[in-house]
Structure 1
Amino acid sequence: MTGSETPSSFRLAYVPGVTPTKWVRIWNERLPDIPLTLVAAPAAEAFGVLRGGAADAGFVRLPVDRDDLSAIPLYTETTVVVVPKDHLVAAVEELSAEELADEIVLHPLDDTLDWERPPGRPAMERPATTEDAVELVAAGVGLLVVPQSLARLYHRRDLTYRPVSGVPESRVALSWPQEETTDLVEEFIGIVRGRTVNSTRGRPPTPPQPKRKRPEAGAGQRKPAAGKSAGSGRSAGAGKGARGAAGGAKGTKGAKGAKRGKPRGR
């Protein structure tokens, strides 16, 4: 860990659309003495927040400049088009970018998709934010193509969205400054990657234990006590008793047979 003192808190940045609730809950369970502070950051400013030291790590949208930042890709989002509920697009389950060719598609300045050329026809002006663009869709000005999480974040009852194929997708990653990979950053990486609390990562490995020698043949057997044989005395006696019992049984049978054969006197 860089520095000799443990920080009093861990600061986690996140861009709009990312919900860090699950990871924050696990952090609070495992490290209750180190509070986690959330830092909301617009997608375009998230990297500056990390570089400026305002957060220890953050959920950002790729691409990431790997010259000074580390990143672990986490998941890829579905891209959707936001439309009024009474629009024709609302009647289909999914559509392609080509099917938006005749539509006015808004392209906000904070757009997070890496377009070569946005689909549809451009509007007269670009909205300042995605939230502003959603309001324009509700007003019937045009449509909006965004990652699904942003469609959910700015959801309105009079709007809906449908998946779009053949368009860029947004990828979310955990990022942090390369020179500030502290123990707490490593701890949070483990949480995000699903490592359990008993994970051995970052802990000294258990030294190998010496193998126990196998005992030599006969070494563990006990010798019979003096004057006794190993089971032979009891088996011999038992044999004699069995033979005696058998002989007695035969004699009794013969006696009974002789008694039955003797005629009765009259």
Structure 2
Amino acid sequence: MTGSEETPSFRLAYVPGVTPGKWVRIWNERLPDIPLDLVPVAAAEAPDLLRSGGADAGFVRLPIDRTDLSAIPLYTETTVVVVPKDHLVAAADEVVLGDLADDILLHPLDDTLGWERPPGRPAIERPATTEDAVELVAAGVGLLVVPQSIARLHHRKDLTYRTVTDAPESRVALSWREDATTDRVDDFIGIVRGRTVNSTRGRAGATADPKGKRAEKAKPTGKTAGKPAARSTGKTAGKNTRARSGGPAAAKRGKPRRRS
């Protein structure tokens, strides 16, 4: 895709639990003339949205089919179990899956941990969404194991969560269509990877100087060009010092004073 085919705005998709605010703020500072449009999308639908061109790039949860998508893994989330505040698990700082063996563990259809079936006792049926599963936890039907950001997203005063040390983990990545790696996509990759505004690898950095030029070292001109700079020696330095301070070298050039 050429630059002329790019959309006037940059469309960024993000799945539940991901908070893109930090990167959006940096984008707005560096590229204020190009609006960034946020596109919320369910985790299972994010890859197809990118393939269809519904977004220029997006934060997704791995694994995804990367046949025609590029992806840069960004971070791995802590996995937690969501429980009622009066549940025994709430008394511990962290648990293992074995501690949940006697509980019903809900397995929503939009589960992001990728396991075939969570341990523990299965529910009669799978909730349609994670949000529905959280409601069932609040009703005392069972417990729910999710990435920590999802637990925070669906926070309720009557629920809490604890780390599960041996549960599967969810990885978040930035993804985009391989054949649509535009200049704008490259700019956003640079922001996510932490490149500075003056980075030589980012397009935005190349024009970040308010004068429109990168800072360069002063180049020698005239007769001095291409010649090594003269280095001071001990003797020369000493002579110059005496001359400036009115020492013997300076006194010889003056006329003797007449005695009265």
Q: TM-score, normalised by structure 1?
A: 0.78
Contact 1:71-1:176 within 8 A present in 2 as well: yes
| One-letter identity of the residue aligned with 1:37 | D
Gaps of 5+ in 1: 222-230, 242-266
Q: TM-score, normalised by structure 2?
A: 0.80
Matched, 1:214 2:207: no
Give the 5 Å matches for 1:163-174.
Answer: 163-174=163-174
1:159-198: CA deviation from partner (whole Å, max 9, x where unpaired): 0000001110000000000000000000111111111211
Corresponding residue for residue 74 of structure 2? 74
Q: CA RMSD in A?
A: 2.9
1:188-240: CA deviation from partner (whole Å, max 9, x where unpaired): 1111111121111145899997984226799xx9xxxxxxxxx6794699xx9
| One-letter identity of the residue aligned with 2:19 | T
Of 202-211 and 182-191, the range deviating more from structure 2: 202-211
Corresponding residue for residue 142 of structure 1? 142
Corresponding residue for residue 39 of structure 1? 39
| One-letter identity of the residue aligned with 1:62 | L
Q: Percent identity between the aligned chains?
A: 73
Corresponding residue for residue 126 of structure 1? 126
Higher alpha-carbon Rg: 1
Gaps of 5+ in 2: 207-213, 237-247
Contact 1:2-1:181 within 8 A present in 2 as well: no
How much does 1:30 deviate?
1.3
Q: 1:206 to 1:63 in 2, by over 3 A?
A: farther
User: Segments of 4+ in structure 1 off by > 3 A?
Assistant: 202-212, 215-218, 231-237
CA distance in structure 2 between the partners assigned to 1:68 and 1:114 by the alignment: 21
Corresponding residue for residue 84 of structure 2? 84
Corresponding residue for residue 200 of structure 1? 200
How much does 1:64 deviate?
2.4
Corresponding residue for residue 14 of structure 2? 14
Contact 2:6-2:182 within 8 A present in 1 as well: no
Give the 5 Å matches for 1:241-252.
Answer: none
How much does 1:61 deviate?
0.1
How much does 1:116 deviate?
4.7
CA distance in structure 1 between the partners assigned to 2:186 and 2:133 by the alignment: 38
How much does 1:32 deviate?
1.3
